[in-house]
Amino acid sequence: MQQLTKPLISLPARFSLQTSLMTLLLIWGNTSLAAGDDDPLVSKLIIDQLELRDTDEDETWVLDAQGWVGKDLHKLWFKVDAERSEGNSQELELQALYNKAIAPYWDFQLGLRKDLKPSPSRSWAVIGIQGLAPYYFEIDSALFIGESGRAALRLEAEYELLFTQRLILSPEIELNLHAQNDAEHGIGSGLSDIEAGLRLRYEIRREFAPYMGIYWTKRFGNTADFARQEGLDSSEWQWVIGIRSWF
Amino acid sequence: MKNRLYGQQPLTRSSMSRRRFVTGLAATGACLGLGAGSALSMASPNSRQGPVTLRGNQFDLNVAYQAVNFTGKSRVATAINASVPAPILRWREGERVRLRVKNNLAEDTSIHWHGIILPSGMDGVPGLSFEGIKPGESFEYQFDVNQSGTYWYHSHSGYQEPRGMYGAIVIDPKEPEPFSYDRDYVVMLSDWSDEDPQDIYAKLKKFSHYYNFSQRTAGDLWRDIKEKGVAQTWRERAMWNHMRMSETDISDVTGYTYTYLMNGATPDEGWVGLFKRGEKIRLRFINAASMTIFDVRIPGLTMTVVAADGQNIEPVSVDEFRLGVAETYDVIVQPSDDSAYTVFAQSIDRSGFTRGTLTPDQSLQAVVPAMDAAPILGHRDMGMDHGMHDMEAQAEHGAQADHNQHDMSHRPGAEHHHQQPMTGLMTVDHSAHSDHAEPLAKAGFGSNRDIRHLASEHGPHVDMLAESPQDGIADPGIGLRQHAELHGRKVLTYADIRNLYTTADPREPSREIELHLTGNMSRYMWSMNGIRYSDAEPLELQYGERVRITLVNDTMMTHPMHLHGMWSELETGDPLHIPRKHTVIVQPGSKVSYLVTADAIGRWAYHCHLIYHMAGMFREVRVR
């Protein structure tokens, strides 16, 4: 039962540390037992959102993906958040985390986050909890500690409502809080923004589901002020169309 | 006699549609022509008749890759003598058999003789009995056959068994059978997937309900609210929602990927067994599936069960029985007319079925019944203290359910009065505890102890603890409990099974070993006592001792547990007639006890026979 590993996610070269860690994982090894290996090395790449957001003014491409490689209780976990508008990369955020199962439905995550866009880039340490709360709420929460006293908290929750075995409505909400202003990034202290989405997907296969839905965001306090200076509304909503996939 | 099946056989498989229980893709009713001109050398050449029978006491078994096609797609099986299922081996009690197994695979192989009492070195478990058979090499198994009845054999290496490496063993007794029959058929049930078993396992690790397409939907919720009202629906759903478990989680791998086979024939082909009116037909049911528990019936015929796991029992007449993976039942039916009858085997989750026909005439077929309603798990299947039908229990004890949730969902750090410090000791050995002053329950009646959960059962690897497991002996099992009242069917339970002969070892058990079947469904981790096989110490038995093993199922899955080398003497309530089994179903959230006489020196395997549970839910049993 070796060779469960699929080709690994390719990451920017600057994350070569992770590449070497993955090599270590591969050496983790398989024991030869009467019963076979119950805990083989497995990897998964999940593209939660690969979507086009459509407003009156412009079109935005969004990628929200995560992946992991590892065993039952210990994994290396990666997250990518990218936004591209009018051919320009507006946002590119990468996370590389060590993931440890701490409870039947909960994982603890520790690692690094790098915001490559917008510039100037930002680096953060990450402490997070990800898992499934009672009543099937998928939770992803993290505390980010950056340079110069920057700190941020992100809370995400997602739910799935099955209309049929394949037609699934998925509401989700994300809250971002910041400890201080970051004018270069247009972020204000306190509750900076709330994002909410409602996506209806059809699972052609488990691994592949096109969807459509709506996306709504609202900026608060200084964040809203920064946005207004840029000529943006403090809140906006957009139609989205996209693909959810994993393998 | 040497085996007759080497090389090519005439291809008689006709062009017919092969139905898959696949809700996606384009496989439904795919027509394909695999006539005699096909370039493929097909396994099980005449699948409507089942595999050939090899008789005698010397056998050559050739393990090799073999092209098969069950779904319209060609796949490579690991087959014995180019046949899926493998040839039926017919032995005689009292003879010594020699079986030379040649490995023509590119990987190690092995054959385990399931249910056969033999020396440890001949048991065929790589790493425990022997080193396995290397590619290109042969191994000669040799042992005395001291039993009779229906058994089977299969690979114990990697995923060769789900790739087709299984066959039936029929042992004719020295003494005449205690019952008579005119026809004798093996009915071997199995499951086939075109997917690579490693891919299936990886999918389960990544997304554990990948194959479950019976999840509760908004429509179900709306119907429940209309029928039962909001309050009752909320009470029923709250626990599942709170515990993050699914009450439709019955089979890990389903008809979404499996084609269910009867003697190697797909349901569209249909295995055929001939009879003449008034004849008694002996059907030897064997579940050789890798992941599928079957519920079996023959509409219109009452089945008299005469043997369980190869061992004769007091005949009991039933309309339906559940056949756990690796279990066998021998039944006798006697059609009194010239009609055809459908042998119907539906998977426990009702995601598919296989079927065959008993008929006086090849051209005559019977109606294939619709599948029954899929089971919905209830509180008792979670090991909760609700001994009644789930609906009634919930109506009566709705308020209590909330209370129980807290008991069930508490986790490391929470105090637990049964908890013990984690030690290297694998089992709760009740004889070693002075707090149990009262004697062990009498042989034949099962454990009377309170169960206890070990500290090793707490952590991210275990998602459920059965706080008040029910007795699994008299329980027909999930999905079958209402069949008597709904359909008027008598369903076999373990409580119906009594050995035809007197209990061979009348001693009382000297100690009791409690083992918990544990796991985390969503992480797809399986273990015993919360410890997976690779981290576990062997379970030590003293040669000659008689012990009671109590299995507590702390999961929502039905686990068929198989102890190699020694009988599992199931305590069904009659100490004088304790039936002997090699594989015992442990119902979800339930417990079951059996006695074991440790009369076989050596290292033995003890495990769940569901192939994707086996690696973790496994123990070595060491008798010395």
Instruction: Return the domain boundaries, chain B.
Output: 410-623
pLDDT value of residue A35: 61
Express each pLDDT in B309-327 by its tens digit.
999 999 999 999 999 999 9
For B410-623, which CATH class? mainly beta
Q: Considering only CB atoms, which chain A residues are within 8 Å of B615?
A: 1, 33, 35-39
Which region among A194-203, B219-228, B239-248, B601-610 has the lowest average model confidence (pLDDT)? Answer: B239-248
Give CA separation, B169 vs A131, B43, B54, in Å.
48, 19, 10
Q: Which of A84, A81, A128, A82 is nearest to A102 (CA)?
A: A128
Q: Which of B470, B149, B468 is nearest to B327 (CA)?
A: B149
pLDDT band at A34 (very low <50, low <70, confident <90, very high): low
For an interface test with A, which of B244, B254, B607, B619 has the most A Cβ atoms less than 10 Å from its Cβ? B244
Q: Collect all residues from A whose CB is shorter than 8 A from any CB in B.
A: 1, 3-4, 31-40, 42, 44, 72-73, 101-106, 132-136, 161-165, 204-206, 246
Whether the predicted pLDDT of A8 surpasses 70: no
- Look up the CATH number of the domain holding residue A113: 2.40.160.40
pLDDT value of residue B239: 81
For an interface test with B, which of A1, A33, A38 has the most B Cβ atoms less than 10 Å from its Cβ? A38
B171 within 8 A of B240, measured Cβ to Cβ: no
Three-class SS state of A136: helix
Domain that holds residue A102: 44-246
Which region among A92-96, B43-47, B102-106, B343-347 has the lowest average model confidence (pLDDT)? Answer: B43-47
Q: Do B206 and A246 touch (CB under 8 A)?
A: yes
Q: How many domains does chain A have?
A: 1
List the structure tokens of B616. 């973790």
List the structure tokens of A114. 């790098």
pLDDT value of residue B209: 93
Whether the predicted pLDDT of A104 surpasses 60: yes
Distance between CA B125 and CA B123 in Å, rounded?
A: 6
E strands of B201-302, at which residues? 258-262, 271-274, 281-287, 294-297
Asked if residue A81 belongs to a domain, the reply is yes
Q: Do B241 and A134 touch (CB under 8 A)?
A: yes
Average pLDDT over residues A216-221: 94
List the structure tokens of B96. 């010594």
Closest chain A C-alpha to B599 CA, distance in angstroms: 22
Closest chain B C-alpha to A91 CA, distance in angstroms: 29
Distance between CA B305 and CA B308 in Å, rounded?
A: 8
Asked if residue A35 belongs to a domain, the reply is no
Average pLDDT over residues B29-47: 36
High-pLDDT (> 70) share of chain A, %: 85
Express each pLDDT in B557-585 by its tens digit.
999 999 999 999 999 999 999 999 999 99
Whether the predicted pLDDT of B18 surpasses 80: no
Residue with tokens 């294939």: B368
The residues, any chain, with a CB within 8 Å of residue B516's CB and separated by 6 or more, are: B451, B453, B454, B457, B528, B529, B530, B551, B552, B553, B554
Asked if residue A226 belongs to a domain, the reply is yes
